Structure 1
Amino acid sequence: MSIDLRISGGVVMTPSGPTTADVLVAGGRIAGIVGSDVSIESDRTIDATGRLVLPGMVDVHVHTREPGYEHKDDILTTTQQAAAGGVTTIFGMPNLQPPTTDVATLSDVFERYGRTSIVDWNHNPAPTKPAEIQGMSDLGIRAYKIYMVVDTGRTYPHPAGTGMHDHGHLLQIMDHIVATGKRFIIHPHDQALMDYIEGQYLARGENTPEGYASAYAAREGVIWDTAIDVVLRLAEASGCPVHIAHIQTRRSIEAVRRAKAAGVDVTCEVNHWAPFLSTWEDVQVLGPYALSYWVPDDNRAAVWEGMRDGTIDIASSDHAPHTREEKEIGWTEMWSAHTGTPGIQYYYELMLDAVNRGELSLQRAIDMVATVPAEKFGLEGVKGSLVVGADADIVIADMAHEWTITNDDVMSKTGWTPYDGRTVSARIERTIVRGRDVYADGAVVGEPGYGVLAAARNDPAAQAAEHTADLAGKDLK
């Protein structure tokens, strides 16, 4: 057997737990996890002594902004941030221009990824055109995505064509998705309740970060809880696998816990801002730069509890970059600001820092960022775990490296991070995608276009991607 790469001396996080071992890589896949005494020649060796060897993050919720909003970020800059942050696979979102709602727009987005993505990729189109659902599935997607929301005072980040909040329409689409075997990602939102609640705040002139934060968290998060209750019941009625984005309230977490116990196929995610950027102090100090959403203390405690006990399955960044100009207006007109925050570059390291602080076990962190998203989105055995036969998507991290996040290091076009000035106790040193370095020694070294479609081994779309990659000299596998 010809070995391309040997990662030696590190503590390897395997599905059965940590073990001091060497990882062997051949043809872009993990060929073995062996003791250091196993003698075998390799073309290259990386010394990981004193480091953790981890699976790369599978981030199923990423806003690349391409096409249509490339002034915020694009596929290249997003995947540069991914590489620096230990993310080896991204799933893009459909709120683009034009929105990804049919085979034609999805094919265009796939071509864009193929030209410039540094890491592996997939995309979650909006299933708002029933006749297009099966065709988009056939291209190799792993999930669909809709928003149960219509923006107030702006047309972005939830553009027309990506929204759906009529319950009958939701059930109809779930029935279509069931036939594809894919998962349905839903941004929960009770639009009717939000219209009423927002109206009260705006009528009082509270168009500020504090007003906006309070409105979305009003009445203990009623707009989230009622929407999630509907989604869970429709998922049960249809048999459609659903994934709930932005989980953030105690009642919602309890509802998901009950639904799982009842056999509903539901997963949910926590985004970087919920555990790490959602206090009232964050809202007061950072204003529009902290929003996304405010998570009151009781709800944040429930989020951490759900992360620890597995009710919250997945950590996804919800990377949502906006320019300073698009944020600054929010100090006085928050409902006109673009909400969302960049997050993909630092989320994995923030999770590892939480491990060091005793907030989360290392196994739970790895499950949330890598293993479970791969399993639940149809990539088990391909992504998300350090097992023989899986893609060699590997992160090497120093768990005893204290450093400070600054705007100077941000790779997003926006040039800012809400974590500017925050000290973190763990550092990702190297990111490897299919056996090849994409980030090393503090620099992105991956080549644009190296990334390929992430799909199940037996998926015809994956086989086509593998053939295309081979023709392009990408050394896929």
Structure 2
Amino acid sequence: MSVQLRVTGGRIHLPGGAVSADLLVAGGKVAGLVSQDTPVTGVDQVVDATGKVVLPGMVDVHVHTREPGVTHKEDIHTTTLQAAAGGVTTIFGMPNLIPPTTSVATLRQVFGLYAEKSIVDWNHNPAATEADQIAPMAAMGVNAYKIYMVVDTGRTYPHPAGTGMHGHGDLLRMMELIRDTGKRFIIHPHDQSLMDYIEGEYLARGENTPAGYASAYASRDGVIWDTAIDVVLRLAEASGCPVHLAHMQTRRSVEAVRRAKANGVDVTCEVNHWLPFLSTWEDVEKLGPYALSYWVPDEGREAVWQGLRDGTIDMFSSDHAPHTREEKEIGWTKMWSAHTGTPGIQYFYPLALDAVNKGQLTLDRVVELMAWAPAQKFGLAGKKGALTPGYDADFVVADMDSPWTIREADVLSRSGWTCYEGRELSAAIERTHVRGTEVFAHGVVTGKPGHGKLAAVTEKAVSA
């Protein structure tokens, strides 16, 4: 066997726990794990990971690349530059593009752009709004679909026409169609009728500010989230469709998912970078529109941390959502006109590793949240998410004792800013490899556009 790469001296984190071993890579796959004193002949390259941890790369199923149509904010190349630097080896793009990804034709266009430009492996979550396109898009290799239960107020983006669905009958119909494909249905939960009423209250009082916006979306203990999630869970139970909830952030929602899982509903859910690291009232006061996404009151944040620890919440997904400074600045005085969302893919994995050092999560749990669970739940079992022989050799080498400070000068996003400017972290990613090929090392992205490949459903995944 010709060995492409040997990663030596590190502590490798597997689904069953960590081991001190050397990682062997051949043909882009994990070829085996051997003791560090085992001789192996014919090794093309050796990476010294002494004193470091070797972790599976992040499988990020919630990424906004902004291409096509909104590339003044970001594009596939700049998104995957950040992914490589941040230890993300597979991304699933989102459909809120221009035109939105709703059909075979628009999906084919997006696939072509990824194939040309992506540094890391990829898939895409088309919007499930055209019933006759669901099965044909599944045949193209998508692993999931996406819908927004929301209509923007005072703006037309980031939730453009063609990506939303609110009627319960429409949702049930789409769930039954998606169930028959064996794919998962990602839903941005939102009770639009309640939000129209609540937003109206704030706007009538002239509270078109970051504080007003933050308070409105958390109003009545997060009622717009909880009622929508209750509906989704009941429809998932009725249809048998596997569903995935984006943006977990309230106590009642965590409890509802916990109950649904206990009752056998096939539901998964995620937490995005902004909740554990950017959702306090202090963040809203300091950063205003740049921190929104959402404000999460202490009760919700505590419930989410508990859900992360006990397994109720399945995975981390970045919800990388870049916008320009101009699109954010208007929010200081007209927050409902600002584009909401924050870039996060470059720093999420390091932030999570820092949380390990702070005792907030174990490293094994972070690995599960970042890699193992999303791969298992989104059709990539046996292929991605673990450093197990036969899997793709997607890995990062991280130093858990490497203090550094996030600086905007290092931001790779086209937007050019980060809400984490000045944040001090205790752990750093030194290297990222996709299918054994180095794409990032010691502060420099070395991967080339077009290296990324479609991460499609495997036969093992369908039966998992």
Match of 1:328 in 2: 329
Mapped partners of 1:458, 1:449: distance in 2: 25
1:197-235 residue CA offsets vs partner (Å, 9 max, x unmatched) = 000000000000000000000000000000000000000
Mapped partners of 1:36, 1:300: distance in 2: 42
Mapped partners of 1:441, 1:404: distance in 2: 15
Q: TM-score, normalised by structure 1?
A: 0.96
Match of 2:278 in 1: 277
State whether residues 142 and 457 of structure 2, in contact with CA within 8 Å, keep that contact through their aligned partners in structure 1: no
Mapped partners of 2:249, 2:442: distance in 1: 36
Match of 1:464 in 2: none
1:38 offset after TM fit, Å? 1.6
Match of 2:190 in 1: 189
Mapped partners of 1:15, 1:318: distance in 2: 24
Q: What SS class does the counterpart of residue 397 from structure 2 fall into?
A: strand
Match of 1:14 in 2: 14
Q: Is 1:50 equivalent to 2:51 in the alignment?
A: yes
Match of 1:4 in 2: 4
> Pairwise mapping of residues 8-407 of structure 1 onto structure 2 (< 5 A)?
8-41=8-41, 42-407=43-408
Q: What SS class does the counterpart of residue 430 from structure 2 fall into?
A: strand
1:16 offset after TM fit, Å? 1.5
Mapped partners of 1:121, 1:297: distance in 2: 35
Q: What SS class does the counterpart of residue 36 from structure 1 fall into?
A: coil
State whether residues 381 and 458 of structure 2, in contact with CA within 8 Å, keep that contact through their aligned partners in structure 1: no
Q: What SS class does the counterpart of residue 45 from structure 2 fall into?
A: strand
State whether residues 194 and 224 of structure 2, in contact with CA within 8 Å, keep that contact through their aligned partners in structure 1: yes
Mapped partners of 2:442, 2:331: distance in 1: 37
State whether residues 10 and 21 of structure 2, in contact with CA within 8 Å, keep that contact through their aligned partners in structure 1: yes
Q: What SS class does the counterpart of residue 128 from structure 2 fall into?
A: coil
Q: Alignment length, in residue pairs?
A: 460
Amino acid at match of 1:27: G
1:277-327 residue CA offsets vs partner (Å, 9 max, x unmatched) = 000000001000000000001110111001000101010000000000000
1:458 offset after TM fit, Å? 4.2
1:15 offset after TM fit, Å? 1.4
1:48 offset after TM fit, Å? 0.3
Q: What SS class does the counterpart of residue 90 from structure 2 fall into?
A: strand
Mapped partners of 1:256, 1:340: distance in 2: 24
1:32 offset after TM fit, Å? 0.3
1:363 offset after TM fit, Å? 1.0
Mapped partners of 1:307, 1:211: distance in 2: 29
Q: What SS class does the counterpart of residue 33 from structure 2 fall into?
A: strand
Mapped partners of 1:457, 1:253: distance in 2: 30
State whether residues 379 and 458 of structure 2, in contact with CA within 8 Å, keep that contact through their aligned partners in structure 1: no
State whether residues 433 and 440 of structure 2, in contact with CA within 8 Å, keep that contact through their aligned partners in structure 1: yes
Q: Is 1:452 equivalent to 2:453 in the alignment?
A: yes
Match of 1:437 in 2: 438
Q: What SS class does the counterpart of residue 145 from structure 1 fall into?
A: strand
Amino acid at match of 2:169: G
1:81 offset after TM fit, Å? 0.2
Mapped partners of 2:215, 2:431: distance in 1: 40
Mapped partners of 1:353, 1:402: distance in 2: 9
1:127 offset after TM fit, Å? 1.0
Amino acid at match of 2:29: R
Mapped partners of 1:72, 1:151: distance in 2: 18
Q: What SS class does the counterpart of residue 446 from structure 1 fall into?
A: coil
Mapped partners of 1:257, 1:14: distance in 2: 26
1:116-138 residue CA offsets vs partner (Å, 9 max, x unmatched) = 00000000000100000000000
1:42-97 residue CA offsets vs partner (Å, 9 max, x unmatched) = 11000000000000000000000000000100000000000000000000000000
Amino acid at match of 2:63: V
1:182 offset after TM fit, Å? 0.0
Q: What SS class does the counterpart of residue 31 from structure 2 fall into?
A: strand
RMSD: 0.9
Mapped partners of 1:44, 1:37: distance in 2: 17
Amino acid at match of 1:86: G
Mapped partners of 1:278, 1:456: distance in 2: 34
Q: What SS class does the counterpart of residue 3 from structure 1 fall into?
A: coil
Mapped partners of 2:319, 2:423: distance in 1: 20
Amino acid at match of 1:255: A
Mapped partners of 1:362, 1:115: distance in 2: 34
